[in-house]
Amino acid sequence: MKDTSLYNVLYIDLTEGKYEVQERRDLFEKYIGGAGVAIKLLEEECPKGADPLSPDNPIVFAVGPFTALYPLASKTVAMFKSPLTGNLGESHAGGRSAVAIRLAGYGAIVIKGASEKPVYISIVNDQVKIRDATTLWGMRSSYAVGRVLREVEPGAGRRTIMRIGIAGENLVRYASVVVESYRHFGRLGLGAVFGSKKLKAMVVVGTRSVEIEDLKGYMEVYEEIYREVTGTEVMSKYHVLGTAENVLPLNALGALPTRNLQQTRFEQAENISGEILAEKFLAKKIACTHCPIGCIHLAALRIAFAPGHEYETLIIPYDYEPIYALGSMLGIGSPEALLRLIEKVDGLGLDAMSTGVAMAWATEAYRRGLIGDEETMGLRPNWGEDVEVYIRMAERIARRANEFYSTLADGVEAAASKYGGLDFALTCGGNEMPGYHTGPAALVGFLVGARHSHLDNAGYSLDQKVLRSPISDEEMVDRLIEEERLRNVLTSLVVCLFSRGAYKVERVIKALEPLGVHTTKEELLKIGAEIQRAKMEFKAREGYNPYKLRIAKRFFETPTPHGKLSEDRVRRMIELYVEKAGFKDLFKP
């Protein structure tokens, strides 16, 4: 590649207060960028058995060769050891993060060590400063932190501002990092790792340029991709209603987890559907940098806070996953209540999905008498009856208000291990479940996926595709493996997974050409498989074992569109997965 700035890795050591840049051409040439380079850097920097909340745990941010160059190459990959699962932590976010990092002159940023006092990092191209954040620590809302940094840091209007809320400060193991107010590194506890380093925020301003090897070829491919994503149906779903479009189809299918997965149809689904939210609350749609789609749906919620027409208006981002986790999963069927809860959870810097599943477990545990008023500090959760209860519960989790909430802040698995109710503690590999009870592919996919996310291998999509023309379990497993390998290529480039329709492998090869990278389909898929293998090696090293997974009974009790799943079948599919993916040497039955 003509532009070698991608190879620059910025290493920041918070213990020493120092930084340096190393050229890591070796990693980027072999593993593309993004997820591929991040897993290698994590492997290098994270000692075996490191406490995820100790200075030993590094944070890696990586972008890729498409970042700043092609439309929808808008995501940054974060990797770290997860304080929630104890193995691989991987989370992706958009906003302005990716383009800012690349145009600041880096392909990756590694943050090591820990500060004694609260700090934030300010990166303006090659200037890196570690600044005092004492005054920002303990601030009630992550939104306010963004407002302060907006005033004191340069690069207004085009920079990224990543920050944690009080959940991250208090080391809640599923705390998020909020990006540009409305995007998140949500899953697996990056916010807690920030908090453990006393790192409140990171601002990145990039004003450099990326040179292009073959301009003519580049412009041709660029326009082809642009035309496809804006002029055809390939991405319309994400633009029109956004991911919230999924609510009604999944509900109709009987796959929308409801009331802690006691049901898969929610009688009030209509009220919290993408259609109703768009009709009544959608204020505007905005985009991540370099994405012409604009899938970020912002709702405006007007609330009367006192008599006499005293109103405040909250601007709240919504997506399918928060709607599922903080809506149907808690039995919340009022859109106003749901939006208020999303706003609260984001402001606290909690992952919406894990928090929703945690509060759903707590509700069921409370209804069954496993926990009482002493544990909940007087809150009496009852499936969406009163959203105030959930708003206060989220706050108490974020503050680790008592022993119970502090345990819940360690995850559903930790809470159920202590208070009982493991049968309905809905985690997969220690990570709270995503919003799809679609069938065997989804469940197996969550359990074996490297980050235990629906986005790893899209089993939820496969389940729906094969509903009318069933395939064998063996073929299902093959397709999960194939999909995850392919996605590892996309998340190494790094493009948004929503644009996967426009970034088929052939297109990826064509788009790499003008950048001076010549490759083949076989080569790319081989790299995808190697990245997958590297992730699994890291997971195995840190104690993950697919043969020994706890799978909550609830997953088998509640029917999916494919009928009730049996534990035997799911475990057989996991075994098949380990064999077919070539991971048998990594795990002992």
Partner 1 sequence: MPYRLAVVDIEKCIGCYNCMFACSRLRFKEASLAKSAIQVRSAGGIERGFVVVVCRACIDPPCAKSCPTGALQPRPGGGVVFDESKCQSCRNCVEACIIRAIVWDEERNKPITCLHCGYCAKFCPHEVITLEPIGRELVV
Q: Which residues are bridge partners to 109 per DSSP?
A: 10, 61
Residue whose CB is less far from partner 1, 68 or 108: 68
212 sits near partner 1 (criterion: CB under 8 A): yes
Minimum gap (Å) between residue 115 Cβ and partner 1: 27
234 sits near partner 1 (criterion: CB under 8 A): no
Separation between Cα atoms, residue 68 and residue 209, nearest integer Å: 9
With CB under 8 A as the contact rule, which of the stretches 168-176, 208-216, 243-251, 569-577 interacts with partner 1? Answer: 208-216
Tell which one of 20, 44, 211, 475 touches partner 1 (CB under 8 A): 211
HEC states along 383-440?
A: CCCCHHHHHHHHHHHHCCCCHHHHHHCCCHHHHHHHHCCHHHCCEECCEECCCCCCCH
Tell which one of 50, 54, 217, 230 touches partner 1 (CB under 8 A): 230
The encoded tokens of residue 435 equal 């919003």
Name, in order, each residue with C-beta under 8 angstroms of 526's C-beta and a sequence gap of 6 or more.
none
156 sits near partner 1 (criterion: CB under 8 A): yes
Amino acid found at 23: E
| Sign of the C-alpha dihedral computed for residues 320, 59, 171 and 201 taken in this order | negative
Minimum gap (Å) between residue 33 Cβ and partner 1: 15
Amino acid found at 367: R
180 sits near partner 1 (criterion: CB under 8 A): yes
Tell which one of 89, 113, 146, 356 touches partner 1 (CB under 8 A): 146
127 sits near partner 1 (criterion: CB under 8 A): no
Minimum gap (Å) between residue 480 Cβ and partner 1: 33
Tell which one of 131, 137, 141, 150 touches partner 1 (CB under 8 A): 150
With CB under 8 A as the contact rule, which of the stretches 105-113, 288-296, 359-367, 410-418 interacts with partner 1? Answer: 288-296
218 sits near partner 1 (criterion: CB under 8 A): yes
Tell which one of 10, 99, 397, 408 touches partner 1 (CB under 8 A): 99
**Cα–Cα nearest to 144, from 164, 115, 117:** 164
Sheet hosting strand 183-185, strand order edge to edge: 127-132, 119-124, 199-205, 160-163, 177-179, 183-185
Residue whose CB is less far from partner 1, 147 or 548: 147
Q: Which residues are bridge partners to 199 per DSSP?
A: 119
Decide: residue 513, CB within 10 A, 0-12 exposed, 13-18 middle, 19+ buried: middle
Tell which one of 12, 63, 93, 103 touches partner 1 (CB under 8 A): 103
**Cα–Cα nearest to 366, from 410, 341, 331:** 331
Tell which one of 207, 461, 519, 545 touches partner 1 (CB under 8 A): 207
Residue whose CB is less far from partner 1, 60 or 288: 288
Total residues at interface with partner 1 (CB under 8 A) = 40
The encoded tokens of residue 440 equal 């065997």
The torsion angle over the Cα atoms of residues 519, 522, 524 and 529, rounded to 10 degrees, is: -160
Minimum gap (Å) between residue 11 Cβ and partner 1: 25
List residues binding partner 1 (CB under 8 A): 68-69, 71, 99, 103, 146-147, 150, 156-158, 180-182, 206-212, 215, 218-219, 222, 226, 230, 284-294, 298, 315
